[in-house]
Structure 1
Amino acid sequence: MWILWAVTLLWAASFSLIGEFLAGQVDGYIAVFIRMVLAFLLFIPLWRPRRINLVKQCQLAAIGALQIGVMYLFLYHAFLYLSVPEVLLFTIFTPLYITLLDELLYQRRRLPLRWWLATAIAVVGAAIIRFDDLSDSFWYGFLLIQAANLCFAAGQVFYKRLELGDERNQLHLFALFFFGATLVTGLAMLSFANFQLVPQQPLQWFILAWLGLVASGLGYWAWNIAAKRVNVAQLATMNNMLIPAGLLINYLFWQQAVVWPRLIIGAAVLAFAVWLASSPRPTPSN
């Protein structure tokens, strides 16, 4: 679990950098493609494709394409129809999708009721923090965000259940994950990017290097590694811990306004959900 907490803090800080230095200045599709290329290059020296068969290599590349590439494609399209608060609000359903997909696709027995309860509580806690007024025509954007949530959730579940050997073996294979992500984000960039908004300032390139090598490269690797260590309810509930962590980072470093009662109550509810998800399962299988 400590890896999920560490990556949550890392991503919270990274989202803050995006909001302060890249949003509106660098096209999102270009930024994501650069991040995926850098992450791919980070793992290329470690790549040992002979460690698994060709079918699993293709599956791992497809997981990266889905979890990051297709997810970002839906996410950025949603910004055409939604405000930023609405986008953040509608991402809170990811824990439900993780739990649902895992049970439908992989579980021979039904998941424990307390895991479902923990997942639902995580959604409620995030809603307490993020709920705001909605625009009159938000449904199309809502559906796009749910498609993005499903892609991100499915990628996590598929990686958790894909047999890749021990963690050292996964390290030597993870370039394939970013290979798939790079292909999809590259196609998305060519199709939708505004090439007038390319990174130009040294600070922007430095932040993209950080996001690509650390937040994306090491971050996604560590998150997916941790996904195999925890149960599905822990993985699901931790997906929403990014919301209070991100708000807290924004306040500490950029003095952005925070509605403290909602943040404290929502974070407490989320923490309870994570605790409930960490209760031992009555059977040895995770």
Structure 2
Amino acid sequence: MLVAERIEQVRAWRGHVEGSVGFVPTMGYLHVGHLELVRRARRENDAVVVSIFVNPLQFGPHEDFARYPRDLQRDLRLLQGERVNLVFAPEIAEIYPPGFTTQVDVGPIGERLEGASRPGHFRGVATVVTKLFMIVQPHRAYFGWKDAQQVVVIRKLVADLAIPVEIVAVPTVREPDGLACSSRNVYLSPEERRVAPALYAALARARALWQEGERDAERLRQAVRARLADEPLLRVDYVSVADAATMEELVVVDRPAILSLAAWLGTTRLIDSELLGVE
């Protein structure tokens, strides 16, 4: 497994690769959800690249960039075991050298939900993903459905800019009690960790109603909020039932939709989602 810190190293490696390349962009501190993306990429491609880069552009001024968990050596050991061909782990200055000013804005789709709660977040995501795609030049890139809006944003990005990368979305990997795997779960206190599965329980309640035929989007949102209200430690940011292509809120669920939420547990902000009729 080659570990590269410089763009020129990745390009030199890429120039000698034959066959398909699968790419898994990460911010590191890998968990089983990341490894599922890597395994999917391994099955479907001749070579696999993983990037590890905590992207400062997608963090707001009062967010957790400085304390975001990092353990590069642990991550490299895990990726070695998954037969990854190349790990790109650049420093910030390699991606954003002095004088860097260009940013990619995907428009209204990135201004809703996560974009409204975290202004500029998706501009940062779209910018770094575009740059990584240009460096790695993969055939396929793998993302998890837990960050459902991110999947929609990146699909919009590659369609609008005609970037020749297939975006593969992989089902959310969960702990046995339903909590979606996330690097930020390490922040949770034992009591907060006990409460955290309520997020998925709330989504599952609304999804069950949808499966039973409920199509009133507000009733689905209310079902989520009602379940979350049972947990006084939870502070809800948003509950959404949105069009799966535009992330616009729905009145009636008459098309593929994404049911999603964000909530605070202490100082930790968690997100989760469920798909309603999405292939």
Bin for the TM-score computed over the shorter chain: under 0.3
Q: Which has the higher contact order (CA 8 A, sep 6+)?
A: 1
TM-score normalised by length of structure 1: 0.27
TM-score normalised by length of structure 2: 0.27
Q: Going by fraction, where is strand more abundant, 1 or 2?
A: 2
Q: Going by fraction, where is helix more abundant, 1 or 2?
A: 1
